[in-house]
Chain A
Amino acid sequence: MERRRAAQDLLPHLILWGGIAIVAFPIYMTFVASSLTQEDILAGMPLLPGPHLVANYREALFRGVVATSGISVLRMLWNSLVMALIIAVGKIFISLLSAYAVVFFRFPLRMTVFWMIFVTLMLPVEVRIVPTYQVVAELGMIDSMAGLTIPLIASATATLLFRQFFLTIPDELVEAAKIDGAGPLRFLVDTVVPLSRTNLAALFVILFIYGWNQFLWPLLITNSPKMTTIVIGLTQMIGLGEGRTDWDIVMATTLLAMLPPALIVLLMQRWFVKGLVESEK
């Protein structure tokens, strides 16, 4: 019996390990490349890490390269982090409030408002990029963190999700709070937000990564090297045409760029697993 179970377990394990290998191999190769010199890489990639790991990362983090006008990767990481955090927190804040209004309040044109929010889902940044650019330019927000983040915050992504979740909160709970004397804001803070914490964690992860990976909008809106985000910086490092590309530094930067989203996922995963285990009702 025991042996049969072991044999049955083998195949799923093989498939899983195969999957992991396929996903992890390019990341491993990036890691290997980031520990070599430019010459080693161009001479043909070995499969084992070399001795230049620390030197490459130090150079990427603190010195920067010619292609990025000498802006260090550390600075780019910081820009990206601030941008992604503002976008994620801003989107959650706006969506939470708008979904709360749409679900728990009765006001004229309530459903019209909801559908207007909903329709913006169908207009991603790329579609409305020209008018948005003009608005931001006329407001004088080009090349500022506000110009970078505000247009990306104003969208409906999370409103719909929050609305669906709020609809599952029983009416009796709302009424109990009314009788207890909790006003609308108090109910939001004391009851709705704590009950939504699993949704908040999941959305934060998704929106942070969404913000972190933004490319087109930052490319348009930022001009000065000081505002460069990591994703933009990375593409600048890869020289086009006759430009020289320091592949060792590029690879180190790539891994550094992956690190914050990966950390966010790891940290938040513990949160929403906890939330799922403790799920209410």
Chain B
Amino acid sequence: MGEVTLRAVRKSYGATEVVHGVSCDIADGELVVIVGPSGCGKSTLLRMVAGLEEITAGEILIGGKVVNAVEPKDRDIAMVFQNYALYPHMTVRDNMAYGLKIRRLARAEVEARVRRAAGILQIEALLDRKPRQLSGGQRQRVAMGRAIVRDPQVFLFDEPLSNLDAQLRVQMRVEIRRLQQSLGTTSIYVTHDQVEAMTLADRLIVMRGGVAEQIGPPLLLYERPATVFVAAFIGSPAMNLLPAVASEDAVVLAGGARLPLPADRAGLAADRPVTLGIRPEHLVAGDGPATIEVRVELAEMLGADTILHGRLGDGSLLQARLPGAERAQPGERMRLAVDPRQLHVFDRESGKRI
């Protein structure tokens, strides 16, 4: 019903190509988050699905039909914009009803749909207000209400929470997820916030420079990032990426520390330059099969956790997320251990996972 398919979708502005062929199948009812730094083409991709940008090459299918040449209004989609894009001179009710009125739905039907959507979003009391009389969070709800009343095949969200304050953002995030699950409507959600992406998504598309670096469920991307970029982008604090050289059954850090690899990962060509990734939360104080020694520079005591900033022998930085009970003094030498199974090895040149 509400499947969306991207087939090698490309977008160029003149000679500059900004989306270099993205393919993805989105199942009915799935919430897919497109995440990436600014300028990576994620909004452009969403706007192509919406029909606000022309598709230079490739195909987009909604509900099994190619929509490349279909007007936005006929694509059976609804979009929630970053700045809400409410009509400032219309009441909340009229804002929500506008699209339905244009579609010439019966007056009673329009009223019933607006009532129902307002009920779901708990904005019945605001129906006669104008957007300027609403707070940011309320405007956000109205913008979602406008999408809900249309009962479309696909919801498109373009960074809908980035104008809200941090606390409200967390609350609305939960609400959007709950709403999407109860309505069961296929959704594509664009954000630059990786926490938002991780918590909302059934599947993530991590984009960088117009290319989909990796597509998959959030935890898969966390556990098995396909590239150095995905590894660094997903997770907070960010993954430590250290230059190293592979030998047969281990990697040797630039500073000299030798970290053995698990048996099933051994067999790398010797002397191959690699980037070693270690998540800060996978480091523990003490000795283990793979141990690194650092000189402590700073310890951020956050209560539950202590974020340790250390420096390796060769001067590269290492962050470790240790239990809050750990105490460390600047200048102190400390040994940190990591389970070899949680080491990520990437090819230094291509950045691809090995």
Chain A residues proximal to chain B, CB less than 8 Å: 170, 172-173, 175-182, 186, 190-191, 194-195, 280-281
Question: Are A180 and B89 neighbours in the complex by a CB distance under 8 Å?
Answer: no
Would you give the shortest CB distance from B55 to chain A, in whole angstroms?
A: 16
Chain A residues with CB below 8 A from B86, complex form: 176
Question: Are B82 and A180 neighbours in the complex by a CB distance under 8 Å?
Answer: no
Question: Are B52 and A180 neighbours in the complex by a CB distance under 8 Å?
Answer: no
Would you give the shortest CB distance from A202 to chain B, in whole angstroms?
A: 17
B341 beta carbon closer than 8 Å to chain A: no
Chain B residues with CB below 8 A from A177, complex form: 87
Question: Are A186 and B102 neighbours in the complex by a CB distance under 8 Å?
Answer: yes
Chain A residues with CB below 8 A from B79, complex form: 175-176, 179
Stretch at the interface among B70-78, B230-238, B288-296: B70-78
Question: Are B132 and A281 neighbours in the complex by a CB distance under 8 Å?
Answer: yes
Residue from A190, A194, A195 having most chain B Cβ neighbours under 10 A? A190
B98 beta carbon closer than 8 Å to chain A: yes
Q: Which applies to chain B's interface (DSSP): helix, strand, loop or mixed? A: loop
CA gap between A186 and B102 in the complex, in Å: 9
Q: Which of B78, B87, B88 lies in contact with A179, CB distance below 8 A?
A: B78
CA gap between A170 and B84 in the complex, in Å: 11
Chain B residues with CB below 8 A from A175, complex form: 50, 52, 72, 79, 81, 85
Question: Are A180 and B50 neighbours in the complex by a CB distance under 8 Å?
Answer: no
B83 beta carbon closer than 8 Å to chain A: yes
Which residues in window 36-52 of B have CB below 8 A to A? Answer: 50-52
Question: Are B132 and A191 neighbours in the complex by a CB distance under 8 Å?
Answer: no
- The interface size of chain B toward A, counting residues with CB under 8 Å, comes to 24
Q: Which of B50, B85, B103, B132 lies in contact with A170, CB distance below 8 A?
A: B85
Chain A residues with CB below 8 A from B51, complex form: 178-179
B351 beta carbon closer than 8 Å to chain A: no
B243 beta carbon closer than 8 Å to chain A: no
CA gap between A172 and B78 in the complex, in Å: 13
Q: Which applies to chain A's interface (DSSP): helix, strand, loop or mixed? A: helix
Question: Are B83 and A172 neighbours in the complex by a CB distance under 8 Å?
Answer: yes
CA gap between A111 and B353 in the complex, in Å: 51
- Lowest 5 CB-CB distances: which A-B pairs, in order? A181-B73, A180-B99, A280-B88, A172-B85, A176-B85
Question: Are A191 and B52 neighbours in the complex by a CB distance under 8 Å?
Answer: no
CA gap between A177 and B50 in the complex, in Å: 12
Question: Are B87 and A191 neighbours in the complex by a CB distance under 8 Å?
Answer: yes
Question: Are B73 and A178 neighbours in the complex by a CB distance under 8 Å?
Answer: yes
Tell whether A280 pairs with B89 under 8 Å between CB atoms, given A175-B52, A179-B79, A181-B73. Answer: yes
CA gap between A178 and B98 in the complex, in Å: 12
CA gap between A194 and B90 in the complex, in Å: 9
Would you give the shortest CB distance from B62 to chain A, in whole angstroms?
A: 13
Residue from B73, B79, B85 having most chain A Cβ neighbours under 10 A? B85
Chain B residues with CB below 8 A from A180, complex form: 73, 98-99, 102, 146
CA gap between A117 and B82 in the complex, in Å: 35
Chain A residues with CB below 8 A from B78, complex form: 179
Question: Are A191 and B102 neighbours in the complex by a CB distance under 8 Å?
Answer: no
Question: Are A173 and B85 neighbours in the complex by a CB distance under 8 Å?
Answer: yes
Would you give the shortest CB distance from B231 to chain A, in whole angstroms?
A: 34
Question: Are B88 and A281 neighbours in the complex by a CB distance under 8 Å?
Answer: yes
Question: Are B73 and A172 neighbours in the complex by a CB distance under 8 Å?
Answer: no
Question: Are A176 and B81 neighbours in the complex by a CB distance under 8 Å?
Answer: yes
Tell whether A172 pairs with B102 under 8 Å between CB atoms, given A179-B73, A280-B89, A281-B132. Answer: no
Question: Are A280 and B85 neighbours in the complex by a CB distance under 8 Å?
Answer: no
CA gap between A191 and B83 in the complex, in Å: 17
CA gap between A186 and B99 in the complex, in Å: 12
Would you give the shortest CB distance from A177 to chain B, in whole angstroms?
A: 8
Chain A residues with CB below 8 A from B85, complex form: 170, 172-173, 175-176
CA gap between A179 and B82 in the complex, in Å: 15
CA gap between A254 and B257 in the complex, in Å: 100
Closest B residue to A172 by beta carbon equals B85
Known A178-B71, A182-B102; further 16 A-B contacts with Cβ < 8 A: A172-B81, A172-B83, A173-B85, A175-B79, A175-B81, A175-B85, A176-B81, A176-B146, A177-B87, A178-B72, A179-B73, A180-B98, A182-B98, A191-B89, A194-B89, A195-B89
Question: Are B89 and A172 neighbours in the complex by a CB distance under 8 Å?
Answer: no
Q: List 23 A-B contacts (CB under 8 A).
A: A170-B85, A172-B82, A172-B83, A172-B84, A173-B85, A175-B81, A176-B81, A176-B85, A176-B86, A176-B146, A178-B73, A179-B51, A179-B52, A179-B72, A180-B98, A181-B102, A181-B103, A182-B102, A186-B102, A191-B87, A280-B88, A280-B89, A281-B88
CA gap between A172 and B85 in the complex, in Å: 5
Question: Are B52 and A178 neighbours in the complex by a CB distance under 8 Å?
Answer: yes
Chain A residues with CB below 8 A from B83, complex form: 170, 172
Chain A residues with CB below 8 A from B88, complex form: 195, 280-281
Residue from B51, B52, B82 having most chain A Cβ neighbours under 10 A? B52
Would you give the shortest CB distance from B167 to chain A, in whole angstroms?
A: 24
Tell whether A179 pairs with B50 under 8 Å between CB atoms, given A170-B85, A195-B88. Answer: yes
CA gap between A281 and B133 in the complex, in Å: 9
CA gap between A186 and B83 in the complex, in Å: 22
Tell whether A181 pairs with B52 under 8 Å between CB atoms, given A170-B85, A172-B81. Answer: no
Chain A residues with CB below 8 A from B146, complex form: 176, 180
Would you give the shortest CB distance from B179 to chain A, in whole angstroms?
A: 19
Which residues in window 299-348 of B have CB below 8 A to A? Answer: none
Question: Are A181 and B82 neighbours in the complex by a CB distance under 8 Å?
Answer: no
Would you give the shortest CB distance from A42 to chain B, in whole angstroms?
A: 58
Residue from A172, A179, A180 having most chain B Cβ neighbours under 10 A? A179
Question: Are B77 and A179 neighbours in the complex by a CB distance under 8 Å?
Answer: yes
Chain B residues with CB below 8 A from A186, complex form: 102
Chain B residues with CB below 8 A from A195, complex form: 88-89
